Copies of this chain bind each other. A is one copy, B any other.
Amino acid sequence: MIYENNSVKELKIAYVGGGSRGWAWTLMNDLAKTRDMSGTVYLYDIDFKAAQNNEVIGNQFPGDNWNYKAVKAAEEVMTGADFVIVSILPGTFDEMESDVHATEKYGIYQSVGDTAGEGGFFRALRTVPMMREIAANVRRYCPHAWVINYTNPMAVCIGALYREFPEIRAYGCCHEVFGTQSLLSNALEEMEGIADVSRQDIAVNVVGVNHFTWFSSAYYRNKDIFEVYARFIDKYYDSGYSKKGLDHWKKDTFANNARVRMDLFRCFGYIAAAGDRHLAEFMDFEDYLIDCKKWMFGLTPVSWRKENLKERLARSERLLSGEAWTLRESGEEGTLQMRALLGLDTMVTNINMPNRGQISNLPYGAVVECNAVFRDGSLTPVMAGEIPESIYPLISRAGRENEATLDAAFSLDLGYAYEKFAELNMLKSLKTEEKQELFETMYRNTEGYLGVYKK
């Protein structure tokens, strides 16, 4: 790369999973909006055709500071990369269908099924070997590159990258926290009449594991928001709260009325900071999932994802045919983080990395989410402190299950993997035979992606 007049030229970005019809376009959008960075994005994907399509689409994006190039060889993609972006789908939605829905016959429901529980577990079994290969390629071809992961299960993926290559400069980036910052901004407006506070201006101390993150403190200026939020919840606990209308969650599978978050605040005294769909999967309060309508959020069926994919494929076709992309505010932080790592800014935001003491009462090595400082050539977690007492058992368990999942995936041993699977809290109501049957079923459903495991 070359610095010139406060901008950086000739950057090389390796995009693994570059055939994506979602994140890839968001990245193109955000890169196109950046004024002080330019270079080439190498698109790498098992589905090479998809990468080629994105090469065409990317090169049609507004602006001319970025080139896109689909390539087949990992060596070519990675060598000399300044950044490696990882956003892959481990398997197809058919495998995901198994992840999410195979448990339903046992009365166990999942709202997302990509992070924790049995869905996250099998997704991890598929993903970890891919992550190991990516990390091995980083070690070989661009050991000093910054590696930004968007793939789920996030914590397990980050753990896999670091176990495979301990010196890797990787972190995981997730926008779930932002929604709760916005909710607090709404609370400020509703309860205090302080309008138009951008979510970034809510200073939060993030602790936890990905998709089960909490704010142990939240300030707007010198105002402690916990007290405001408590009153906000008193007002909206029953009705729920949504800027887009109280029925919006019935139409948008990703939406919710924050009722789970409100309930968790009342139970534990801290602010749960992911979407309700994610939070519910970590709780023992089973009715969050079984009775989700009461809690005003929906389970996301994989059939929806399949439908949605069709739309995205159609959009891909239109873009290929020359439909213009209108630049928008994506709300994502990836390119802002890159700018900061290049020394063009300083940034403090939440990321996923192995615990080196930033959360003092979780085990060393467990992948945790907390704030970090992005600056010239350095990414440094802040001392996020302790997980508060009341939520410690829940977060500790979630972190422990992530590590167990990682152990299972690294063992490449199905017998051992089953043992870890059988210990998942989400399966605690099942009998041993049911667990075995479920494991067998989920294995058979996704066997095509699990060939590397020894029986």
Contacts and interface: CB of A to CB of B under 8 A. Distances in A.
Interface of A: 1, 3, 8, 136, 139-140, 163, 165-167, 201, 203, 205, 217, 219-224, 342-344, 346, 348, 356-358, 360-365, 371, 373, 375-378, 380-386, 389-390, 392-393, 396-397, 400, 403, 407, 411, 413, 415-416
A184 to B, nearest CB: 12
A356 to B, nearest CB: 6
Contacts of A201: 343, 376
B383 A393 contact: no
B393 A397 contact: no
Contact of A346 (B348, B397, B400): B348
A223 B136 CA distance: 25
Contact of A376 (B8, B222, B357, B365): B222
A392 B377 CA distance: 24
A389 B397 contact: yes
30 contacts: A136-B411, A165-B411, A167-B407, A203-B343, A203-B375, A203-B376, A219-B343, A219-B378, A221-B342, A221-B344, A221-B377, A222-B342, A222-B343, A222-B377, A346-B346, A356-B383, A356-B385, A357-B360, A357-B383, A360-B363, A361-B362, A364-B364, A381-B382, A382-B382, A389-B392, A389-B393, A389-B397, A389-B400, A392-B396, A393-B393
A169 to B, nearest CB: 12
Nearest to A222: B377
A62 B344 CA distance: 35
Contacts of A415: 140
Given A201-B376, A222-B377, A382-B382, 6 more contacts: A3-B221, A201-B343, A222-B343, A363-B386, A389-B397, A393-B393
A222 to B, nearest CB: 5
Nearest to A411: B139
Contacts of A375: 203, 219, 348
Among A221, A384, A407, the most chain B Cβ lie within 10 Å of the Cβ of A221
Nearest to A135: B411
Given A360-B356, A389-B397, A397-B389, A220 B382 contact: no
Contacts of A139: 411, 413, 416
A364 B373 CA distance: 23
A5 to B, nearest CB: 12
A433 to B, nearest CB: 22
A3 B382 CA distance: 28
B364 A383 contact: no
Nearest to A390: B393
Contacts of A344: 221
A371 B361 contact: no
A375 B166 CA distance: 31
A373 B392 CA distance: 25
B361 A364 contact: no
Question: Quick one: which of A376, A377, A392, A416 has the most chain B CB within 10 A?
Answer: A376
A408 to B, nearest CB: 11
B389 A396 contact: yes
